[in-house]
Chain A
Amino acid sequence: MIEGNLSINLSGFNLSTGDFKISDKKITIIYGDSGCGKSTFLNCLAGIENNYNGSISFKKPLVIGYVLQKNSLFPHLNVRENLFYAFKRCKNPRYTVDDISKSLSIVELLDKEIDSLSGGQTQRVSIARSILSSPDILLLDEPLSALHSQAKDEILNLIKSINKKYSIPILMVTHSVKEMISLCDNVIYMKKGSLLKQISRESALLEIDSNGPINCISGESLNKLGLKLHLKEYENFVIHSSNIILILKSEDFHFPANSILCTFENISRFNNEFSILKLRYLEDNFLYAKVPNEVVENLSCTLGQEVVALFGTDSHII
């Protein structure tokens, strides 16, 4: 567990976090817009930035692995030498260079020079090097920001598998909703210069977009619903609440592939024009629909009433 409270002033930029606690088991995402102080926060945790007020405490002394936003592989060493750099300096090595190279599929890169690597390969090697320090926690600062979409997916899966396989807790900074949704167990949601409370993924989906909640349906749920969208178990179907159309279920209703049968749970006012309808599906899953107020009045829903949610074409799989 990492706990603390810090405030920092760096050439006019203020960051004041309030009390924070970071779980030491799962993947925690620090989510926020660019320039809100996410990287500064990570630098403070790593001890790279230590000119701050307040304190950071660790339950026990931590070995921190940190993959910086900019490529920090040493250019005068090749891939193998970069990996050994970390391995040789690790006091209690838990992994060997061989194991990690195989596991992260970088064996064929070992003799390459750093400047000959692609963006995705660089990130793979950077992550491998960090793991070879046998860290108690791995910090990743926007590890996907410089990658094209295929490499992004590869690294996303790699990050998930590292957390699972090696049980290394991960703290990752991102400003991408997609990365947040596909990776996180917990979210630390930052607004410019301040650290907001740590929230669950479900709460994060409700809060992070000022235009309304974001729905995330797992591949597993979709399979249970019998929707043939060809999703893998770990993939997610993401739908913004404003892209859901509600239809009252009738006897002769034919379900298209892009629909889910839900029951009406409750309603809350979003603003003067819209309300958010909370709908239940598959027993304990919820879907949120952003609906104009006048439509809500016409729907005249009652608790437990069956409603069909149709989702729009710009929903996407991640």
Chain B
Amino acid sequence: MSVIKADNVRTHFGKVRAVDGVTLDLADGATLGLVGESGSGKTTLARTLLGLTPATSGTIETAGVSVRGAGRAARRALHRDAQLIYQDPHASLSPRLRVDALLTEPYRIHKVPDADRWSVAELLDLVELPAEHAGKYPHELSGGQARRVGIARAIALRPRLLVADEPTAGLDVSAASAVLNLLRRLTSEIGLAYLMVTHNLDTVGYAADRIAVMYLGRIVEQGPVADVLHRPAHPYTHALVRALPVPDPAARTAGPPVTGEPPSPRNPPSGCHFHPRCPRATDRCRTEAPEPLDLGDDRRAACHYAPDHLETPLV
């Protein structure tokens, strides 16, 4: 069963094509990392999939709900079964509620019968917070602790899908690693499907089974994370992998893999959006927008030359 089934989804804001023809599938219990640089449309796509930002066209089915044109009851079910963890944990927790109230609020909103509720202590235990945090206010929590409360709130309703937008943004290395470990353990123990939205390829490579790489509103490559990162079929994916600063002084990169910065989504380049920065661009790339090609082994890439790149790895 798919928890997300999106077909040719577009989300346009006036002239800005933030999401421009995305087709995506996430199976129940699977984890997908959605990666892109700022302005790639990854956050807009995640919000569109959850029905928080209306799509301009296409079909979306999330957690069994047809998102576009869903009625009140269907939206309520969607907002129960698909949960979003926000980027800034302090901004997403009401400063006036104590942690115990924050954790039981979802139950009150969705009128969950007592038998189906986790206790506050159980929820705190799930996210590895000591029980005495129940009496604290958000301002008394560190960034990592607030993030855990946000995660506990999201899983309280036992959703089918968890969406996390930059779950470790703003956290120190040690707090970030604890949150990543926690999310990895929870999603596998509870059998949650998990969509992680991030700019950090290493986080996705660590946390997800599958990866989807976005560039200017389009998914340029998707597939099993290890296969895609070890042997990218799209030159943009390859550039992202090469640009990652490896924490190993013995493996220094020769120089930046690409020049320039992503162009404005207001005025995207013709043909393949990546062609002005692509070292391999041909005349065809300048005029003809590549359709996602099925490469087998559960992989797709939107590059005219993707099959060649699988045969002769990009260097």
Q: Do A and B bind each other?
A: no
